Structure 1
């Protein structure tokens, strides 16, 4: 039985699948992990875990399907992440994650001042935000100069796996376009002057497109993983774009809506659209462009409430169903980890408005689901205002398993959502790209055959006016509370001792003696 293998390195877990030539999943493996949050606004990860988990997953999949002949390997990963390594491919520090890591605020301001917003937007497509890779590199140079001095190569999770498997030093165009402002989006190449200025001695990765071949499995990689020497490995890309591929939402006019730890939206077109509120990127494939956005929390918010209440998800969903639209007068801003698009505010924080002693955990959970839906609506309206032609919406990710969440998003946004047969996500898309890469001419599989649409979620037209009012309140609640919230966020960044009232602080020698 011939199969392709797909592995995706996500924020909270790594997932792997074996898929046969007809798109049927033969085996799956998931390994949970945690990111590190050493300080407020910092989110990072030891990149050596990515390879370790790839090895474990691959060996587990081979053991689960010993008759499978693995004919190709697909890789994918969260991003844009910034992993700098030395000349021996040893990481010089933990990888800095995508827009949920907000440490580079000062570098964003400095690069914007030095280069100018117009020039940055003209070259890279987007203004600099916490999602941009360039300011994260600049942060390492400013704050950890010894690490920067040793840095010679730039990786993201997918390209790190490709390097370990094949020895190729390559990055896909889509990922590269998020290392703003170091990539020229119209020229589809690294922007030499700014690379020299901000990336220093780091060697530029060669560029390719998602699904192109990176190389073949080496003897060392085969020994570690159990894969056969010479197995083709593709150039992967960032998980959200691979998820779009997995459900066939990568054609012009398609919007992919990814329900995961965070919520991600990608609309595909042929024109480069520029707006300061969203991210303009190269597409996964040549000739396409994307306008993308993301909420910093979605599944992370519901998981927080699950842990806080001690209830399981079925209980919370049942309670939320009983609560009903509007959560009995609760309104939540889902900015518990800052927010990415469209407000681009790393100092935003979560707000629960309207809370009374009569409210229940079901009301809170319902309001959290509605908050993510309101965030999706905010992004979609911003995309359309920027000129995006959204004709089709496809849902993907773990959150699609719960019908209530899907229905709430459709009701709040007024959007019809298509749900495919398989929503396992990026690992499945990576396996599909691998199958396409190894196919003979004219025999490449079609994702519509692999993964057909099986369900359509229609919005409840009777709730339209209600949700229009709710959305207006959502936007006004942020504007009305952000000054106070920003003050609180500033205090959260201070060391704990500085946050204590002066009269409560003990001299350091007294605390040491007491200890």
Structure 2
């Protein structure tokens, strides 16, 4: 009997389900938009709804089963990834509004998620980063306001004491596994990467939650209550922390199975943050070479492979057998995916979003849309053609030379890595009195350059602190942008590997977690443990025994990728190097100007 696996991906603006075989072949995939609430008077606010997201997930799962004509009994495992957003419910699992003023919450169940991109918790992050806690060492030296603890601290300040005490707080992947299994087990990925959890063994004193940290920032109540609102103390009261893909509870609950159209008890893998699913779905790829397909990589080789998961934002993930402390780069995170391996995560807060902003706010946007409709080609293709026209008219050899006097610094939404400074802002030098489609094309090109230059900045910092990076493994919608992929290879001076279906790599990674959970569950049954894992000691023992099997699944289900090699045009290399130096100088200029204005205003 053929076994099938479902991956569920909850991105920033949509939910998606994909049905795959054990070889990674996609049989059906379906996505559905999800709603994000904004605040017309506060651009920092991004809120979502767990009810809305789960409705979308259920619709997607039903659709892929129908489209592929697969029986629910043949689906053997389910895996989930989601954005690192804060989901808030009460102790009964009912949504709790996260918006100031209950009158703004809309219908019951709405607006109980603070999205990752929400920047309301700036003051709280500043307070945390003045604490001097060892916790900060494991997030690159400064905790981002996009993480969960600053958001929770903001809610404590703006909720009634009684309501806050009744809340449970989840990173979204963990909430979704709780919703469909009823198990309060948390994923190591979410706790370590976004919730200030330091696993045992990361430091001589580390035992999970850091009581001194929580007390100094004003969350004493959580310490006194045994961290129940965050999942509890490891090893106490059935509190479990699971590495990626380990089976959650007893699989799908009866209610969730009915909603999803699947079988009760179907194994569910411990979830991961969406970017980490992109790592899972890409870095085990073989390469297409002149001589055929390269051999399957080993887990040891993963330490040289950086995954870039590029959608609204971009995350840069690399694993190592020991922890590397990189200032401004999140981590090192022990056990984020594999037991006893460490992960670092760099990031750009706005990349796909940045490109869209540059295009949609330009005066020639309406002219661009007319060209799209007239020619039946996508926006990026029209702009690429315009750039080629301009290059030909100027009689020059490259796009880099075409925009050599136009310089763009890209942090319109703050800097995540490696500066860890959410107050950074964008800038552009070289403006002219030109509002034509040609000008839009030029600005589009320098936006791509800026994204590539900032990627190099992140990679340079990772290398400087111990990482060896031999290739960038892409996933997400931006992988379709061929000029950007070539720029990344040229600027970062390493090959870029693109999977056959880059936009589905993240949800494929989630499906791999479902297969792993199925394998572990079957193995436990064969060994006389049909009830699964109920204590942390059992979890740790099993994780250590079978954890690396996830890598084997990855090599079996990841299709060979296309390789984009760096171009060696000497003139372009010199121009890009000069642009990189100007990019770095733009950082110092902005900091200097800001300091001068602060001094003048004081």
The answer, yes or no, to whether TM exceeds 0.5 is yes
Matches within 5 A, 1:233-244: 233-244=268-279
Q: In the alignment, which of 458, 480, 490 is matched to residue 589 of structure 2? A: 480
* Alpha-carbon distance in structure 2 between the residues aligned to 1:124 and 1:340: 11
* Alpha-carbon distance in structure 1 between the residues aligned to 2:342 and 2:188: 11
* Alpha-carbon distance in structure 2 between the residues aligned to 1:321 and 1:146: 61
Q: Does residue 298 in structure 1 map to residue 351 in structure 2?
A: yes
For 1:91, the equivalent position in structure 2 comes to: 95
SS at match of 1:106: helix
CA apart distance, 1:192: 4.3
Q: In the alignment, which of 387, 404, 408 is matched to residue 332 of structure 1? A: 408
Cα distance, 1:36–1:276 mapped onto 2, change above 3 Å: farther
For 1:44, the equivalent position in structure 2 comes to: 47
Matches within 5 A, 1:179-328: 179-184=194-199, 186=202, 187=206, 189-195=208-214, 198=219, 200=222, 201=225, 203=228, 204-205=230-231, 206-215=240-249, 216-248=251-283, 251-280=302-331, 281-282=333-334, 283-308=336-361, 309-310=365-366, 311=368, 312-322=379-389, 324-325=399-400, 327-328=402-403
CA apart distance, 1:471: 0.6
Moved more, 185-194 or 436-445: 436-445
Cα distance, 1:89–1:483 mapped onto 2, change above 3 Å: farther
For 1:426, the equivalent position in structure 2 comes to: 506
Matches within 5 A, 1:125-204: 126-146=141-161, 149-184=164-199, 186=202, 187=206, 189-195=208-214, 198=219, 200=222, 201=225, 203=228, 204=230
Cα distance, 1:229–1:288 mapped onto 2, change above 3 Å: same
For 1:470, the equivalent position in structure 2 comes to: 579
For 1:20, the equivalent position in structure 2 comes to: 21
CA apart distance, 1:125: 6.5
Q: Does residue 108 in structure 1 map to residue 95 in structure 2?
A: no
* Alpha-carbon distance in structure 2 between the residues aligned to 1:22 and 1:266: 24
Matches within 5 A, 1:386-425: 386-423=465-502, 424-425=504-505
Deviations 1:217-275 (A, max 9, x none): 11111221111111111111101111100013572222111121111101110212223
Cα distance, 1:314–1:238 mapped onto 2, change above 3 Å: same
* Alpha-carbon distance in structure 1 between the residues aligned to 2:441 and 2:188: 44
* Alpha-carbon distance in structure 2 between the residues aligned to 1:12 and 1:488: 37
SS at match of 1:211: coil
For 2:421, the equivalent position in structure 1 comes to: 345
* Alpha-carbon distance in structure 1 between the residues aligned to 2:243 and 2:18: 22
For 1:384, the equivalent position in structure 2 comes to: 463
For 2:65, the equivalent position in structure 1 comes to: 62
Q: In the alignment, which of 76, 100, 123 is matched to residue 71 of structure 1? A: 76
Gaps of 5+ in 2: 99-111, 232-239, 285-298, 369-378, 392-398, 524-545
Cα distance, 1:23–1:184 mapped onto 2, change above 3 Å: closer
Cα distance, 1:427–1:182 mapped onto 2, change above 3 Å: same
Deviations 1:287-319 (A, max 9, x none): 111111110111111222343314323212333
CA apart distance, 1:188: 6.2
For 2:528, the equivalent position in structure 1 comes to: none
Asked whether the equivalents of residues 2 and 71 of structure 1 are also in contact (C-alpha less than 8 Å), the reply is yes
Count of residue correspondences = 485
SS at match of 1:189: coil
Asked whether the equivalents of residues 333 and 474 of structure 1 are also in contact (C-alpha less than 8 Å), the reply is yes
For 2:553, the equivalent position in structure 1 comes to: 446
Moved more, 23-32 or 328-337: 328-337
Asked whether the equivalents of residues 321 and 404 of structure 1 are also in contact (C-alpha less than 8 Å), the reply is no
For 1:501, the equivalent position in structure 2 comes to: none
SS at match of 1:258: strand
For 1:9, the equivalent position in structure 2 comes to: 10
Gaps of 5+ in 1: 490-515
* Alpha-carbon distance in structure 2 between the residues aligned to 1:320 and 1:145: 56
Deviations 1:458-505 (A, max 9, x none): 11122222111001111112321346679999xxxxxxxxxxxxxxxx
* Alpha-carbon distance in structure 2 between the residues aligned to 1:429 and 1:336: 30
Moved more, 390-399 or 262-271: 390-399
* Alpha-carbon distance in structure 1 between the residues aligned to 2:575 and 2:410: 20
* Alpha-carbon distance in structure 1 between the residues aligned to 2:597 and 2:63: 46
Asked whether the equivalents of residues 196 and 209 of structure 2 are also in contact (C-alpha less than 8 Å), the reply is no
Asked whether the equivalents of residues 129 and 136 of structure 2 are also in contact (C-alpha less than 8 Å), the reply is no
Moved more, 447-456 or 81-90: 447-456
Asked whether the equivalents of residues 326 and 367 of structure 1 are also in contact (C-alpha less than 8 Å), the reply is no
Asked whether the equivalents of residues 75 and 235 of structure 1 are also in contact (C-alpha less than 8 Å), the reply is yes
Give TM-score, length-normalised by structure 1.
Answer: 0.87
Cα distance, 1:59–1:363 mapped onto 2, change above 3 Å: same
* Alpha-carbon distance in structure 2 between the residues aligned to 1:379 and 1:294: 8
For 1:496, the equivalent position in structure 2 comes to: none
Deviations 1:23-82 (A, max 9, x none): 100001111234333223233322222211111111111221222421111100011x22
* Alpha-carbon distance in structure 2 between the residues aligned to 1:485 and 1:228: 58
Cα distance, 1:327–1:364 mapped onto 2, change above 3 Å: farther
Asked whether the equivalents of residues 270 and 289 of structure 1 are also in contact (C-alpha less than 8 Å), the reply is yes
Asked whether the equivalents of residues 346 and 416 of structure 2 are also in contact (C-alpha less than 8 Å), the reply is yes
Asked whether the equivalents of residues 26 and 65 of structure 1 are also in contact (C-alpha less than 8 Å), the reply is yes
SS at match of 2:70: coil
Asked whether the equivalents of residues 349 and 485 of structure 1 are also in contact (C-alpha less than 8 Å), the reply is no
Matches within 5 A, 1:350-361: 350-358=426-434, 360-361=439-440
SS at match of 1:37: strand
* Alpha-carbon distance in structure 1 between the residues aligned to 2:35 and 2:417: 24
* Alpha-carbon distance in structure 1 between the residues aligned to 2:93 and 2:266: 22
Asked whether the equivalents of residues 11 and 34 of structure 1 are also in contact (C-alpha less than 8 Å), the reply is no
CA apart distance, 1:11: 0.9
* Alpha-carbon distance in structure 2 between the residues aligned to 1:487 and 1:243: 42
